[in-house]
Amino acid sequence: MDWKIFFATFATIFLAELGDKTQLANLCLAAKSKSWIPVFCASVAAFAVVTLITVFLGGLLSKFIRPDYIRYGAGALFIIVGVLMLIGKV
DSSP tag of 54: H
Question: What distances in angstroms separate CA 74 from CA 5, 23, 38, 46, 52, one per listed residue?
Answer: 20, 23, 33, 22, 18
Model confidence pLDDT, tens digit, residues 25-84: 999 999 999 889 999 999 999 999 999 999 999 899 989 999 899 889 999 999 999 999
pLDDT digits 0-9 by tens, 7-29: 999 999 898 888 888 889 999 99
Question: What is the pLDDT, as a whole number, of residue 81?
Answer: 93
Instruction: Using CA atoms of 51, 54, 57, 61 in order, give the dihedral in degrees to the nearest 10.
Output: -130
- The domain ranges of the chain are 3-86
